Structure 1
């Protein structure tokens, strides 16, 4: 039966590990779902671990000036605090499947939490930048398996009929944490000292680890000692590390005008091609890319990853736009962004309860349509936009987020047997996170380029033959300004307008792409539930 499930789920008859005998399958049948207090505490523990992990990927962003100043380094050196975590995390996420097979899901998850707590403490006590970077690399590396494992353990905790509700509860933490990160990080940096952005992980992590071990230690997954795919691991480190460095440093070094960025790009592309070929034929791959042989997995991953890249790119652009153009402070910008979580939190349980009764593709389609409408609404913003106009699309976007992660994750994991859910979840999360980094880099670069283009077009109107320009110049001079001061004010306004038009372009492009992604949603087959539900039903 296991062979049939694996073959039917992904069409993988050439690269998957051999199936155990039927007796082993019976012995390895998934445990019964949790109930009562254990289910509640287990859900909270897994969600807290996920929240802590996702929060830490963004909480340091607004604290870079404080960290750089305290450690006596330049702000551009301080950005390595973010880069080091992202590179290590990106490399470790796709290893989740292999590590789970080797050590067991529960043991690996609890160990990851404890090591995350240790590395958080090391980050807080770091006396210099080098120590802090080493601790952040360790933190990013051990954080990799936490998100996909929390997803698979949560799915196994609920009855098949409630698997969508489990995904809804899990999705709420991944939706709220990226928004809370900058808010919490800014508040801590302003009112406490920057090490506390890491120290807050210690009580949360210890509590989550204790509760998880107490509830799930008897539900450990079967383990097998597989050979280490050393070549695959080396290729993974090379291409992912090169790509992440290229994305993080590209804008700072003027992209392909820098030989360093060109070298990183070539290394990433060549390394990726060798990696794909090697893993496809490797008997015990470090990453099971045969998962992409399944239509639901492949199309679902493309849809969720590209959309997340667009969403994350806008999430980076919006606070910068509010602070540099509209004139908001960092705290005010965070407050304006925060309401996006209201509908996300309210609607996620409702979507989770309703999903088994409806076609997940329709729910995902509604999410993409809503995302598209929100982006097109923002493409009409002006420099004089008021708070109410800003808040309306932000609130609406929360509803789209609730309809986004849950149905697409259900589609991606549908048909997967329990043994392959950690690998499928790890690989899909890796691709999604990677596209988030790509989206942030591309969005900021396009914004800068489009703003420069609009500035050049607007500045053409600044000449003595343009009566509007002459009239405005005279008006400013009549207000007591010198000619140079009046020209400076006009130049400032032109720069603001150019940046505004560049942001509008980003929002408009995002809106169109969200509508295009609906095609990939309908390339998938209808999924009645997540992988654990289907698999459990099969057993």
Structure 2
């Protein structure tokens, strides 16, 4: 392949990967608009985010199988086509559950774009320039999720929310056409093993059932609802069967035997928590900014933009530190501290906080994300045999996506519980024996009387204002609790690093570079 074709192919696959990553976050600033336009609750609308993440989790461990069966070129181009077609269907969805269904299918198509793009880029660079390939792909990985909310905000403020899906059409078509002429099969074709269809089915059923329980449990009063009980039992049975089957079958879709490594097990837990922090923070913050602080989607997106730039520099710094021999454990500790500080800072917000202040807090989140992505993967595979490194790295990446999907569901549930608690607590102060409450109601009643309302109408309007105040205060306190909750998870799990014993593994380091 000549130099021009090589450059065009690199741009093409990087463009496809960034497109997929942008779609993980571009909808976050549009959730309120989708909710109102489709007549759905915010809790139901969050399925637009979680369905995509769950689909990614399911498809990622299957990518090597599907690539071997269909061939890299056919599978990659087919995935782009699925992604584009489902993007069109998402934009034209008439109701929330149609949108969620096509969003799930879009995630299945998008799952291949990231992992296959990685392989193609690193295959196009000689071994001595793998560091350049790592930097190119790493920057793309960080640009995608961080500019997604900014793009979404600009689109929502100036156009309609379906455009956040329709913009994938020209990009996807260009990528598919380019790959048709430029993409070839890998130099070393993957070995085709028997596909572990039962493992795939059990994984999909187990994760899907558990996700539904987490997402709908609070709304349906948990085990007071029949289908929640059924899905809970289904999740337990399917995931237990999945674990037992994967430990037994010769060619598992997910080789769980590698979890015998203490380093991998601990890194997987930390990566799961990292996924919770990464995805919940970029989900909660835009919703809070728009619903409670009155920011426009564009203001919300621009608020998130500076952290995207910082993340790139932090990623480069992380790579240089490891290149100089700094332990990945130390870098992970720094990343966790940054995430803890971010959540602690956000738990102190109030209605008067500025976009600039939140933007500064988000810089710590971006730094944490950059400091955790590659070092945690290196930590995960540091003690594995060379043959087990690809599976270990894949499992670790899957845990990040799984953490994000579960984290959003858990935070939604926790938010709903806390808002009920805070509402009840605040209502206890609204009574005839509280002089401040009485004075506030009388003041509001007098105000509305001056606007032309009679005494009864004015009093009812005053009560309505108090009700709105209680609701917004309850929401703010609940979001603060969510930041506390996520920050506490980081504090609790950080000491696990004390039990990790690292040893230099050149094969592992090379594989991690190739994966990131």
The question of a shared fold, defined as TM-score above 0.5 by the shorter chain, is answered with yes
Partner-residue secondary structure (3-state), 1:338: helix
Show the counterpart of 2:56. Answer: 89
SS in 2 for 1:75: coil
Helix, strand or coil at the partner of 2:292:
helix
Q: 1:276 Cα deviation (Å)?
A: 0.5
Q: Distance in 2 between matches of 1:127 and 1:486?
A: 38
1:209-264 superposed Cα distances (whole Å, 9 cap, x missing partner): 56667776364333333223232232223212222333444454344433222211
Taking a change above 3 Å as real, the CA distance of residues 117 and 98 of structure 1, as seen in their structure-2 partners, is same
Higher RCO (Cα < 8 Å, 6 or more apart): 1
Q: Which runs of no fewer than 5 residues in structure 2 stay unpaired?
A: 450-457
Out of 26, 39, 42, the residue aligned to residue 59 of structure 1 is 26
1:75 pairs with 2:52: no
2:201 maps to 1:243: no
Distance in 2, matches of 1:74 and 1:476, equals 32
Q: CA-to-partner distance for each residue in 1:375-432, whole Å, 9 max, x for gaps?
A: 1111111222233332221223222222121222232344667765554443333222
Q: Is the 8 A contact 1:343 1:396 kept in 2?
A: no
In the alignment, does 2:145 pair up with 1:178?
Answer: yes
Of the three residues 357, 363, 366, the one matched with 2:334 is: 366
Looking at structure 1, the residues matched to 509 and 487 of structure 2 have their Cα atoms a distance apart, in angstroms, of: 34
Whether the 8 Å contact between 1:164 and 1:410 is mirrored in structure 2 is no
- Cα deviation digits, residues 174-220 of structure 1 (max 9, x gap): 43433433443454355445554334323333444566677763643
Secondary structure of 1:380's aligned partner: coil
Which of 364, 377, 380 does residue 396 from structure 1 map onto?
Answer: 364
Matching residue of 1:331 = 298
**Within 2, Cα distance between the matches of 1:51 and 1:523?**
36
Q: Partners of 1:200 and 1:369 in 2: how far apart?
A: 37
Distance 1:52 1:328 in 2: 26
C-alpha separation in 2, matches of 1:41 and 1:351: 28
Q: Does 1:491 align with 2:467?
A: yes
Deviation at 1:281, TM superposition (A): 0.8
Quote the Cα distance in structure 1 between the aligned partners of 2:22 and 2:373: 17
Structure 1 stretch displaced more, 428-437 or 332-341: 332-341
2:494 counterpart (513, 518, 524): 518
State whether residues 107 and 220 of structure 1, in contact with CA within 8 Å, keep that contact through their aligned partners in structure 2.
no
2:454 matched to which residue of 1?
none
* Residue in structure 2 matching 1:299, options 254, 258, 266: 266
Mapping for residues 97-176 of structure 1, pairs under 5 Å: 97-103=64-70, 108-121=75-88, 136-155=103-122, 166-176=133-143
Q: Which TM-score applies when normalising by structure 1?
A: 0.79
Structure 1 residues 413-422 or 83-92, which shifts more?
A: 413-422
Q: Number of paired residues?
A: 502
Matched, 1:443 2:411: yes
Q: Which residue of 2 aligns with 1:223?
A: 190
Per the alignment, residue 340 of structure 1 pairs with: 307
Q: Give the drift of 1:299.
A: 1.7
In 1, Cα distance between the equivalents of 2:512 and 2:161?
46
SS of structure 2 residue aligned to 1:403: helix
Partner residue in 1 for 2:237: 270
Task: Determine the C-alpha separation between the residues in 2 that align with 1:79 and 1:506.
Answer: 16
Whole-angstrom distance in 1 between the partners of 2:368 and 2:315? 10
| Aligned partners of 2:339 and 2:487 also within 8 Å | yes
Aligned residue among 345, 355, 363 for 2:322: 355
Unaligned 5+ runs, structure 1: 1-33
Counterpart check, 1:507 vs 2:472: no
- For 1:497 and 1:220, locate their aligned partners in 2 and report how far apart those are by CA, in whole Å: 60
Q: Hey, what's the Cα distance between the residues in 1 that align with 2:361 and 2:96?
A: 40
* Residues 271, 399 of structure 2: 8 Å contact kept: no
Q: CA deviation at 1:491?
A: 3.4
8 A contact 1:287–1:427 mirrored in 2: yes
1:315 partnered with 2:291? no
Aligned pair in 2 of structure 1 residues 477, 67: CA closer, same or farther (>3 Å)? closer
**Post-superposition offset of 1:465:** 2.6
- Whether the aligned pair in 2 keeps the contact of 1:307 and 1:517 (CA below 8 Å) is no
Partner of 2:201: 234
Which piece of structure 1 moves more, 326-335 or 102-111? Answer: 102-111
- Cα-to-partner distance string for 1:308-362 (whole Å, 9 max, x where unaligned): 1133223222222222322223332233233321211232223223322121111
**CA distance in structure 1 between the partners assigned to 2:94 and 2:465 by the alignment:** 45
What do the CA deviations read for 1:268-292 (whole angstroms, capped 9, x no partner)? Answer: 1110000100110101212222232
| Contact in 1 for aligned 2:157/2:296 (Cα 8 Å) | no
| Corresponding residue for residue 510 of structure 2 | 533
Deviation per residue, 1:86-141 (Å, 9 max, x gap)? 55433222212333454555664444334434544565677998987775454332
CA contact (8 A) 2:261 2:383 kept: no
